[in-house]
Structure 1
């Protein structure tokens, strides 16, 4: 029998990060990280809000020095004042034990602590690690034990290399390195539990830069524990390379049911859009059918039958229109994120693809009759002709969204248009482009003290939860 869809999620406990639950009973959560100087509270809060608007459900910030730790409460205050309940994670290396102890307001304000067991502090690693766990216990915060191959515990690696050398069939240095990463994460988690850390407050990650290594490490980690797993390449790279590498690695694992939260570590271009990593993460999850964040526009790649650029321009215009309208649509039309639109360029696949979409249009190819049939819910709805095809189709789209997703709608198709042009796109609420997404990660356990009621978007009582 043909298998449709990903394998069932690997079972894990639920770890609450602020109002956002992470684990197998909840949608895979999208994370991101700021690249501002955390000591600059204004700039960092602004970027957190930017990422939250884009749909990041958890945002990590570097806490690397005293000025940064002192700024954390102000950052959280600014983010909450802007109406976002997005959890903030403190990223600690080398001196986290010192900063969390010396700045209790920072420790209290953060929603989770990230610990790197490979650099938690020279020869006092165990003592410093324990100090962070003590703070986490005091303030009831979860932790992510995040192992990176670039900062792996060298004592552990040496131990495993020596043991490997004594084997009759030694493994490769690469295999030992990856095994050391898994072992570092698991030993650290066990140590945290020995110190009193509840099992359901621990998330693990083991990040590398190569796709095949990523898959191997997480398959092994998933088989040897039930902690929720944070997926991602430690540094994916820039642009196309970073997007393709992240997609190739994460898609394999997610399809196997491995992974509970993801972050795409893209290198931004100078002055580039930091929120790009959020959109890539969302597209990976939506392409796999694991989450739904925004309407999808399908369009053909073009061929010799479509020498005109009109269908390309129309596909671009439809996509842009949906992006502009989406904030208001989300507020007015629950479920609109599931909408599927097709903009096709010729008669070969155009009608068929358009019928498979909720609403689609098949534009004329080269030498074809200059008509454009529109299909709604699998049936031919109308045929457009002339120079105003784009605005007329956008009006049909607008009417369809209102009819299908409106609270008072009857689910029937919109009435045939009378030649009206599309309504001018509005910017109302455009600042909330990361609004409520279908399949929200912020589903709650009924009766969980201090958590939203089941099915309530995180932060609905005290502000918006990004992308939830």
Structure 2
């Protein structure tokens, strides 16, 4: 991988029906049905909608042998109507189901956390090395016959690790960690290599974007150490719906795509499956547009660790940098100073106009040429104005700088002025590479000035801005470089306050600043035990004002308690029309009738959050 320049990682080619992935193939898009796999007609119609939206693979849940066997009917029906799109069976808990599904699906997904290991109990267990080795041998004894079935039927497999479903065995030795997720995957991959079965795709997912990105980076590093180059399926689980789902997915998936990782993706939204595919297409197309860009000669700082980054050390300038949360700067060059109460920017950049009707709780930034020393107004310069910056006595200054503009003169100036906040800007096709170049140059020069990223767009559609801005900021946040974001969309197509909301949403999705309630909600599948979309809407209507609260909304128990482990409260499908409620990892009420469950969730929150208005 080239840290500053975009190149696709070279993975081996894997054959999934008539639509191979990896190798020189384009990044493939997929989605998953949320209808019962026993309902052939409903699955076929939904699969057709996914395909017509641009989906190249369709996944279906197969919770039992009956569902696995019915894949045959679904497959036949689709083929008879002229659809050759490969089907993927999603298997949990029962390896016998995987054996059957391999006969009728072009690819079978298995979860190492529950393929052979007992269902997790979140209890600490102790294993000697000998006992641990015996457990691995149990996996081998059950897994190899499945691989033989796949060989005979030319069926691909996906080894799909989820953060929420690591086995107690793995957690006993590695904890609930990225390293544990990687080892859970590698145990199965090593068996595949030993058995010369290479038709394998890997996914390693989490609803926490920080965990997801770190884990995939670690996995790729470990595969390279062991001489493996299997293709990757990317996704952020339980990303939610609407704006949050799009930002969270683009941030996590986009950060990895931007580093050339990923051969197929799914954007998991709590919406109709076909709605996921256009979002995935926009994301892939945006990142792929960086191919063959002008070379960026970056120099990586020795102290930086790509697989385990920490926040870059900076000296705080007022409330920017140091241990402070990343700030949001809003560009208001049209004179409109109206702000949202919930998504109020920390600073407003006004350009060449001194702001009127100033608020005490917002800082204002103006170009150095018009700065008059007014209280709570701060000057900004560019690298052609270093003399003016040097002679300016303001306690805080902003310097807009490009990668090429961070030259010897600018570096010398910064060494004399620790009170300068840098605002990185770029017009490069791969702006991420240049922004990384700036951050690493600062580290190499021993400079500790805070670093804010100026992300400039000209989008007419809110969704396009959400996807592009999140994709551009993802790696910068995960690498530990983000002391703030200045998100600006030129034109009047998207309101300024909406742009501010997106900026706050990006920081929250990256787990660096919380400004609203977070919903960890699954996209739904044939296992879902209730009407997911309407339930999410009802819960959001009652709780969206609760800043800082995390609420898990999960369709079933497959990943439910585990994937929402860091949620404050959980709403999990326990059976058809039945709901269980959780406080943290503890189930506090089981099998509530669906029609009563939302009200009981609200009552639970009220009882435990007296300071929040529910």
- Where does residue 107 of structure 1 map in the other structure? 102
- CA 1:232/1:188 → structure 2, altered by over 3 Å: closer, same or farther? same
Bigger relative CO (Cα 8 Å, ≥ 6 apart): 1
Question: 1:132-151 alignment to 2 at 5 Å?
Answer: 132-151=146-165
- Where does residue 88 of structure 1 map in the other structure? 87
Question: Cα deviations across residues 132-164 of structure 1 (Å, max 9, x unaligned)?
Answer: 222212212111101111111221221235xxx
- 8 Å contact kept, 1:89–1:110: yes
- Where does residue 269 of structure 2 map in the other structure? 266
- Where does residue 212 of structure 2 map in the other structure? 214
Partners of 1:160 and 1:34 lie apart in 2 by: 34
- 8 Å contact kept, 1:9–1:24: no
- Where does residue 583 of structure 2 map in the other structure? none
Partners of 2:290 and 2:51 lie apart in 1 by: 17
Q: Greater share of helix residues, 1 or 2? A: 1
Q: Does 1:23 align with 2:22?
A: yes
- Where does residue 59 of structure 2 map in the other structure? 60
- 8 Å contact kept, 2:65–2:97: yes
Partners of 1:276 and 1:290 lie apart in 2 by: 23
Partners of 1:89 and 1:36 lie apart in 2 by: 14
- Where does residue 235 of structure 1 map in the other structure? 238
- Where does residue 121 of structure 1 map in the other structure? 116
Question: Cα deviations across residues 240-293 of structure 1 (Å, max 9, x unaligned)?
Answer: 11110000111111111111110111112xxxx32111111011012223599x
Question: Cα deviations across residues 149-204 of structure 1 (Å, max 9, x unaligned)?
Answer: 1111221221235xxxxxxxxxxxx6xx110101111121111222x2422x1111
- Where does residue 49 of structure 1 map in the other structure? 48
Partners of 1:190 and 1:126 lie apart in 2 by: 10
- 8 Å contact kept, 1:146–1:206: yes
- CA 1:204/1:100 → structure 2, altered by over 3 Å: closer, same or farther? closer
- CA 1:139/1:221 → structure 2, altered by over 3 Å: closer, same or farther? same
- 8 Å contact kept, 2:91–2:98: no
Partners of 2:157 and 2:107 lie apart in 1 by: 5
- 8 Å contact kept, 2:13–2:231: yes
Partners of 1:343 and 1:56 lie apart in 2 by: 25
- 8 Å contact kept, 2:6–2:290: no
Partners of 1:138 and 1:181 lie apart in 2 by: 29
Count of aligned positions = 278
- 8 Å contact kept, 1:5–1:289: no
- 8 Å contact kept, 2:157–2:201: yes
- Where does residue 180 of structure 1 map in the other structure? 180
- CA 1:122/1:160 → structure 2, altered by over 3 Å: closer, same or farther? closer
- 8 Å contact kept, 1:115–1:146: yes
- Where does residue 244 of structure 1 map in the other structure? 247
- 8 Å contact kept, 1:117–1:125: no
Partners of 2:492 and 2:102 lie apart in 1 by: 61
Offset of 1:71 from its aligned partner? 1.2
Partners of 2:29 and 2:201 lie apart in 1 by: 14
- 8 Å contact kept, 1:27–1:290: no
Question: Cα deviations across residues 36-72 of structure 1 (Å, max 9, x unaligned)?
Answer: 1101111111111110000000111111113212211
Partner SS for 2:288? coil
Offset of 1:7 from its aligned partner? 1.4
- 8 Å contact kept, 1:119–1:125: no
- Where does residue 166 of structure 2 map in the other structure? 152
Partner SS for 1:203? strand
Offset of 1:205 from its aligned partner? 1.1
Partners of 1:125 and 1:147 lie apart in 2 by: 15
Partners of 1:22 and 1:128 lie apart in 2 by: 27
Partners of 1:266 and 1:242 lie apart in 2 by: 6
Partners of 2:40 and 2:333 lie apart in 1 by: 51
Runs (5+) with no aligned partner, structure 1: 162-173, 293-300, 307-341, 345-362, 366-468
- 8 Å contact kept, 1:117–1:129: no
Instruction: Give TM-score, length-normalised by structure 1.
Output: 0.55
Runs (5+) with no aligned partner, structure 2: 119-137, 224-228, 292-330, 337-457, 461-490, 494-614
Partner SS for 1:22? coil
- CA 1:291/1:78 → structure 2, altered by over 3 Å: closer, same or farther? farther
Partners of 1:302 and 1:54 lie apart in 2 by: 37
RMSD: 3.0
Partners of 1:302 and 1:71 lie apart in 2 by: 57
Question: Cα deviations across residues 89-117 of structure 1 (Å, max 9, x unaligned)?
Answer: 1111111x31344x4xx433210111111
Partners of 2:459 and 2:155 lie apart in 1 by: 48
Partner SS for 2:273? coil
- 8 Å contact kept, 2:65–2:96: no
